[in-house]
Amino acid sequence: MNKEQQLIDVWMKEQGWSYWKPHEILARLMEETGEFARLVNHEYGPKKKKEGESVQDFEDEIGDILYTLACFANSHGISLDAALERSIQKVAGRDKGRF
């Protein structure tokens, strides 16, 4: 996702914008995960309302969460790819001692 993170960074600079403060990005993350949660209940829970299109809807919600994380990561010099790789190593190492 390095390419996408750079796109966001270039674009923010072109707009003359700076990233939100950590607590503000966190609140946005909470809002976006809340929308994802609502969709999970719509698709798999007691509030079933949707037919079809659900994969597209989930892609949208996951994308918004990733965008929010990318803003936090960019303002802290963190690579999403590297972060995910480390978590995979951690999980795999915990269970099998390899990877």
CB of 96 to a second copy, least distance (A): 8
Binding mask 31-70 for a second copy (x = CB under 8 A): xxxxxxxx-xx-xxxx--------x--xxx-xxxxxx-xx
Backbone angles phi, psi at 18, to 5 degrees: -120, 160
- Tokens representing 81 are 């790819």
Identify the CA nearest to 71 among candidates 81, 62, 80. Answer: 80
User: Of how many residues is the chain composed?
Assistant: 99
- Chain residues that interact with a second copy, rule: CB under 8 A: 1, 4, 7-8, 11, 15, 20-24, 26-38, 40-41, 43-46, 55, 58-60, 62-67, 69-70, 72-73, 76-78, 80-88, 90-92, 95-96, 99
